[in-house]
Amino acid sequence: MNTPTSSSSNKAPFRIPTWLGACLFAAIALFFLWEEHEAHIMGALPYVLLLACPLIHIFMHRGHGHGHGGHNHSEHDHDAPHGGRP
């Protein structure tokens, strides 16, 4: 006679997703890095912000058309401010 097997014996062991495990590992690593190097990080923060300013300036002005030669803005209707002549 065949006895039905219980469904609990066929279950796979509990496993967390890989991305969740990586996030937990990163959070724990960041916590210990912060605890060990807090004074160094906070001491360097003003200099990091000052060094970031030129990079931010360069990347923020990339789309403003600097260095593309002179072109007449009056020829382009989409460049005219709102409320301007049609």
pLDDT at 35: 96
pLDDT at 23: 96
pLDDT, tens digit, 9 for 90 and up, residues 25-69? 999 999 999 999 999 999 999 999 999 999 888 888 876 665 555
pTM: 0.43
Would the CA dihedral through 73, 76, 78, 80 be positive or negative?
Answer: positive
CB-CB contact of 79 with 73 (8 Å): yes
Torsion of CA 27, 32, 37, 43, to 10 degrees: 40
pLDDT, tens digit, 9 for 90 and up, residues 57-83? 888 887 666 555 555 555 555 555 555
CB-CB contact of 41 with 34 (8 Å): yes
Which residues, including other chains, have CB under 8 Å from residue 73's CB and lie 6 or more apart? 79, 80
Q: Delimit the domains of the chain by residue range.
A: 19-60
